[in-house]
Structure 1
Amino acid sequence: MATKVVIIGGGFGGISVAKQLSSSEFEVTLIDKTNHHLFQPLLYQVATAALSPGDIAIPIRAIFSKRKNLNVILGEVTDIQKDAQQVQLKDGELIPFDYLILAPGSQYNYFGNDDWKSHAPGLKSLGDALQIRERILLSLEKAERLKDASKRAPYLTYVIIGGGPTGVETAGSIAEIAKRNMMRDFKNIKKDETRIVLVEAAQNVLNGYPDELSDVAKNDLEKMGVQVLLNTPVKDITDEGVQLEDQFIETPNVIWAAGTAASPLLQCLGEDLDKAGRVKVQADLSISDNPNIFVIGDAAYFEDKDNNPLPGVAPVALQQGKYVGELINDEQKGKARSNFKYLDKGMMATIGRAKAIANIRGIKVSGFIAWLMWGFIHIFFLIGFRNRFRVFAEWIWHYLTFKRGVRLITERKKED
């Protein structure tokens, strides 16, 4: 009888596990709330009209179309019954398992201010990206119709909250839109009317990067016209704008990129969680009271050799997924478990056209070379030849022409 393996989440970690379990001795079930695998690192480019949704997403069924031992379920897991070794879906269906891998990803953390979410959407899904894209485009359309520059100002103001990679990349991308790319298509808007503000509560953008690279990123953003506010916590967010300690910024264009929290589903495990809700896993990524339940990716709290928690980034999820898949394969062959070890290959972030930073095992790179490295690595991790080719072609087009092609408004919101 085949060993039943249930994977919750079709992100980098879940897909990585599933790819390792191709043997017919496993009956694999992959469950996700959406029908597609999403390349989240490029989600901001959908939000800023650089790429189409189909460029960074692929149906999960298409990835595993040739796998006879794998079943994909479009559904939401609402409960995990450890003793009975089964998970329950929202519709009540129960799915048994011998091994369970939780890779549900994360969600944005509004630090107890959940009402801010409607005013400042985050970037975790294609729906989020499209909502932000349409807000930006609608604001430009509204500004174009207003003759009074003071009345145009709020619609030409963009506030990004959070100075991590997503916040920095989004701010740089919006700056390129506002200062160069789209202004040629609007007759009444001047590029110097736009205002892009990046708000960060800490003393640096890109915390976790070396200070010199953080400074490079900040300087590049400022040269692109982004106002960077450090040591500036947000007090409130409303329909009218953002309240900071010493000023109120009037705008309907607010994007949240300040922090993440793990999936609430993890609470069903009854395990010790960190402040972000991640499960504190064992050395083999399993939970404390069941060696056949694993937690990986954004959902796992795991410390490296220097006792620092691993970040919630794609390389971590990919390596953990591959490790768990190989562990299950080996265990079926009677081999003993080994501990998970993360190989840090470095980290990088892009700021704008020909502007990026990278820290590759202590080697610090910035500028055009780092931007090329960032581009090639991201294209390499995209799933499917079609996606890689399309993204590469779009980037070359943008670089040569400064034009962004995906500027469609598909769902008009009701006028105020």
Structure 2
Amino acid sequence: MSVLDVEPTTVTAAVAACATAARGAAPALAAAADQVIDGALAAMATRLSGARDEVLAANAADLEAAESAGMSRGLLDRLRLSEDRLTTMAEALRLLAAAPHPERSIPLGELAGGLRLVERRRPVGVIGANYEARPNVTVDVASQLVKSRNAGVLRTGSAALGSATTLVRSVIAPALSDVDLDPAAIQLVPSADRAAAGALVALPDLVPLVILRGSGDSTRSLAQLAAQHGVRTLAHADGGGVLYLDVAADLSLGIELIKQSLDRLGVCNRLNLLLVHEDIYATALPVIQEALSSLDIAASLPPHDHAVGYEWALDPEQEATVTVLPVASAGEAARVSNEETSGLAACIVTSSATTADEFMAAYAGTGVFWNAPTRLLDGFKMLGVPETGINIDKVPGPRGPVTYPDLCLRQYAVLPG
């Protein structure tokens, strides 16, 4: 039974009930055959297509409430579902169903005494996810968890709770039942209270790993709270794409990439900081400003009264802004990108392979692009499957778009020869 069908007395109790139900369903999910897992994902795609009217109606109600509350243009765009977006979501589910499963057992070699060493991949068990008001993420994360054979506890923002509830009840849960998997494997916290996020990262015995997506400060606070409770996190706290126009750039290509990078304002991999070689700054700036103006985007020019890497997507009042800064070289552009931004992604626009190599070697961020927009740093666009988030940690482990092969634990097994 889903916790959506009960009335817990407190937020903490609601989250704990979700986690307990997911844990109960986890062993059967972990043991499921590949064809059963893929059948569940295919059933989600079918169910999503069949429930279009219901999902769109729930989303329209969420949008109406959000608009009445004064939600910004970029955030409304993240919240909005449409026929086209539902079609894309269904196609992503079908692609995920067809994607290969990682080997569960990989021979590594032989040990003394005729023993064999094998690396096994095991599900985590139950994985939590706290994410912003983006209904499509409900399906993205749930499908990745099912593909990796992990149960899950999802918690979304209040603005998207109606849409997410409909997606769980009408798409995800019945699709699991269609292939005789326990629908309790994917839980959605039924409370809009923000305290639910804190409760989710405080259950190490039930939910040892939580995926965190959202605004920088809130996500960092949750990661710190999780650490205090012994819960590991995959945090996606900060974003902001960088584009560097080199002295050898094709300006028309650069303008096209700027426009491609600003098709959506509320996403992490949009253009945030535009660096321009100082030798072309004076001539390029009017063209850049004209392009930004055509998109209703403001240019923040020097001298800046904010940090160079300030992430405009997290500022509802000024999200339609791009910071512009002249730099002396590709090396300085890489340094600014490394030191002043989150390190999510950076692009160099240049016709010089030597300069491109210099920039790409110096930039240490998660994604680096040559004559291509940072919007491509996305699990679906790059890898052909949905993502649970984009990890920019500077430690070993999954980095960049986190997808189903990353959601596992290694186990070393020593066996007789």
TM-score by length of 1: 0.27
TM-score (structure 2 length as normaliser): 0.27
